[in-house]
Amino acid sequence: MRALEDDFDRPKEECGVVGFWTHPEMKAEVARMAFFSLYALQHRGQESAGMAVSDGNLVTMHKGMGLVSQVFDETAMTNLKGHFGIGHNRYSTTGDSHVRNAQPYHVSTLHGPLSVAHNGNVTNAAALRKALMERGVGLMSTSDTEVITQYLAAPVPFKDRTAPRWEQRLAQLLDVAEGAYSLVVMTRDCLYAMRDPLGMRPLCLGRLKNRDGKVMGWMVASESSALLTLGAKHLREVGPGEIIRIDKNGITTVKPPVAEKSTAMCIFEHVYFARPDSKIEGQTVQVVRQRMGTQLAKEAPAEADVVFGVPDSSLPSAMAYAEATGLPQTEGLIKNRYIGRTFIEPTQEMRENKVRLKFNALRENLEGKRVVMIDDSIVRGTTMYQLVRLVREAGKAKEVHVRIASPPINNPCYMGVDLASREHLMAAQMDVDAMCKAIGADSLAFLSPEGLHKAVRGDEPKPCGHCDACFTGNYPVDVSFFEESDAKRQFEL
């Protein structure tokens, strides 16, 4: 069952990861820092949360279903002792959400403890699963993180089997695992951070200082906003295909990143996922979104009286659109900000106008006007249909011109984002004119793929490439497995 606040008509991110390594003598409260960094990344996954912390001898783990603030209490925090650790927020794409799929994954290996937190989707997980099972590994869950963990647990076929060789194994994983994966890995005495060679999911690196300005250690996190929350300095991003080790010797690049031009960072991080105050590829997301609005104004101006955005993610684009078009900006929709995840079914009456449970229209700002409503994307189109009706009926707008700050989504994502299957993607089923009619708008326009890329690259064009498969169908990895079959069923117990 879908929870109401699941924003079912929005793309869903799947995870946020964090990792910490501090000097033992600094007595930093690693678990507490991990807690607040997961708290800052709550938007990347609300289904489960977890943490594994080590003092070099003993690994303590705590995970559970729910928000970070629900999973951890002071008793749990007190038990999580150690000077390094990793953490994870999870959003489940499958209906089968269960605590056994919660992360981090932790196993004992020949060379000591191994804990893994993962953001992304390994597209050849089915093949890797099969390989592992052929080697005789029984798999407890349907998670690709367990696949990664067991893959890493296997000894590297080198002569000297006494050395852990975690770094060789991580390098091997880069060779065999396809798709998107940003990993934070904890072993007996150090922390590794790594991104897939295409750099599809973000991961960045920060330095922790204490109140006296002394370096306490380092942290990695999916987004830099988590660094800001802890007052850590944002050093840089972990590069695509890069493996970084953090231990008592500081930060070491175990394997340098691949060339940036061959990368395929998910462009939707800019469009919707990331917090606006995060810096991705050197740019603050808020600014990128403002540029999207400016570009949208250029590509698709509207004959209208007023502009407003659908709260909250499209507000930067709306602000910039208004500024660029010279139209006054207003607030047209009010969102219930205190809404929490609920599984209570609405009544029949409410179901037909479900959008009201989340939004109300501000008639005073809209009545009798020709309005431009900016949103960041259209997935299934059901919410947009109800929003247009709300703005027209309750808001009394004269005309409703919908402008979307990204191109039409007409392809599913197989790299860790829960969009929808192709038959549920509105743009995969009809052209823009038909969509306009279907949502009941007076006009509808999207930002062009070129316009989006331009906005993302910004003034100082970034060399790195982006995955825009959801808009273009140009998948950077082989997705035939997914396209040919409903592969998930094969994973089920």
Q: Which of residues 17-46 bind a copy of itself (CB under 8 A)?
A: 28-29, 32-33, 35-36, 39-40, 42-43, 46
* Residue 362 engages a copy of itself in binding (rule: CB under 8 A): yes
Work out whether 287 is an interface residue with a copy of itself (CB under 8 A).
Answer: yes
189 binds a copy of itself (CB under 8 A): no
Comparison of 150 and 383: residue with beta carbon closer to a copy of itself? 150
Nearer to a copy of itself, 9 or 242 (CB): 9
DSSP 3-state of 63 = strand
Residues with active-site annotation? 15
**From residue 302 to residue 341, what is the string marking binding to a copy of itself with x (rule CB under 8 A)?**
----------x--xx--x---x----xxxx--x-xxxxxx
- Out of 49, 67, 264, 400, the only residue in the binding site for a copy of itself (CB under 8 A) is 67
Integer Cα distance of 343 and 443 in angstroms: 35
Interaction residues for a copy of itself, span 120-159 (CB under 8 A)? 129-130, 133-140, 149-150, 152-155
Burial profile 391-412: b = 16 or more Cβ within 10 angstroms, e = fewer? bbebbebebbbbbbbbbbbbbb
CA dist 53 and 79 (Å) reads 9
Which CB atom, from 303 or from 345, has the smaller least distance to a copy of itself? 345
How many residues of this chain bind a copy of itself (CB under 8 A)? Answer: 99
Q: Which is nearer to a copy of itself, 140 or 434 (CB)?
A: 140
Tell me whether the omega of the peptide bond preceding residue 104 falls within 30 degrees of 0, making it cis: yes
Residues in the chain: 493
The CA distance from 417 to 425, in Å, is: 14
The stretch among 62-70, 254-262, 377-385, 404-412 that binds a copy of itself (CB under 8 A) is 62-70
Question: Mask of contacts with a copy of itself, 368-407, x by CB under 8 A?
Answer: --------------------------x-------------
Binding residues for a copy of itself restricted to 69-98, rule: CB under 8 A? 69-70, 72-74, 77
97, 172, 284, 382: which one binds a copy of itself (CB under 8 A)? 284
What DSSP line would sit under 271-295, residue for residue?
Answer: IIIS-TT-EETTEEHHHHHHHHHHH
Site for a copy of itself in 410-449 (CB under 8 A): none
**Can residue 55 be called a binding residue for a copy of itself (CB under 8 A)?**
no
Which of 24, 56, 58, 368 touches a copy of itself by CB under 8 A?
58
Q: Which residue has the tokens 């000097």?
A: 23
At 399, list the tokens.
């005309």
Judged by CB under 8 A, does residue 110 bind a copy of itself? yes
Binding segment for a copy of itself among 252-260, 353-361, 430-438, 441-449 (CB under 8 A)?
Answer: 353-361
CA-nearest of 133, 216, 5, 85 to 490 is 133
Secondary structure in 3-state letters for 251-268: EEEEECCCCHHHCCEECH
Q: Tell me how far, at minimum, the Cβ of 462 lies from a copy of itself, in Å.
A: 16
Measured CA to CA in angstroms, residue 248 lies from 159, 200, 217, 256, 381 at distances of 27, 29, 9, 20, 52
Token match 């799929």: residue?
101
- Rule CB under 8 A: choose which of 11, 19, 85, 113 binds a copy of itself: 113
Q: Could you tell me the two tokens for 244?
A: 């970084």
Q: Position 259: which residue type?
A: A
